[in-house]
Amino acid sequence: MNDRISPEPPATLAELMRRGNVFAEQCPSREVLKHVTSRWGVLLLVALRDGTQRFSDLRRKVGGISEKMLAQTLQWLEADGFVARIAHPVVPPHVEYSLTLLGEELAQKVEALADWIEFKLPEIMAARASRENPAD
């Protein structure tokens, strides 16, 4: 990423990283945030709260996701320590995905956000309708 120095440098880079200041674009949490808030990251984390599931289960559950993005997003989440992957060495392959303890904590917060949006959808749609929704 071609992150540039943020115009608000009251602290050193090291200090910003240590404090985890998300406004600093050098902060690694931006990367994690990117995985989590990616188009499929949110949906996958919520989906996995239902318990251990296979690749094809997830593909079926999360509408519209391609194999490629499912694999890639799962790999991101696995690398970040949110998802555990267990491949049983059988033919045909049998791979199971589940949330780690860390992932479960995260998924709870993500789901709280998603649920809130769904719950408030009537208000949100009303807000949109009340103004001539200009551009998407």
Partner DNA sequence: CGGTATCCTGTTTGATACTG
Partner DNA sequence: CAGTATCAAACAGGATACCG
Kindly list the residues in this chain that would bind its own copies in the complex (CB under 8 A). Answer: 1, 3-11, 15, 19-25, 27-29, 31-34, 36-39, 42-43, 46-47, 60-64, 75-76, 79-81, 102, 105-106, 109-121, 123-128, 131, 133-136
The 46-65 site mask, x for binding DNA (CB under 7 A), equals --------xxxx------xx
CB 21 within 8 A of CB 27: yes
103: closest CA among 39, 30, 49?
49
| DSSP string across 34-89 | HHHTSTTHHHHHHHHTT--EEHHHHHHHSTT--HHHHHHHHHHHHHTTSEEEEEE-
Shortest distance, position 53 Cβ to DNA, whole Å: 9
By CB under 7 A, is residue 40 in contact with DNA?
Answer: yes
Under the rule (CB under 7 A), what is the footprint of DNA? 1-2, 34, 38-40, 54-57, 64-69, 71-72, 74-75, 85, 87, 92-97, 136
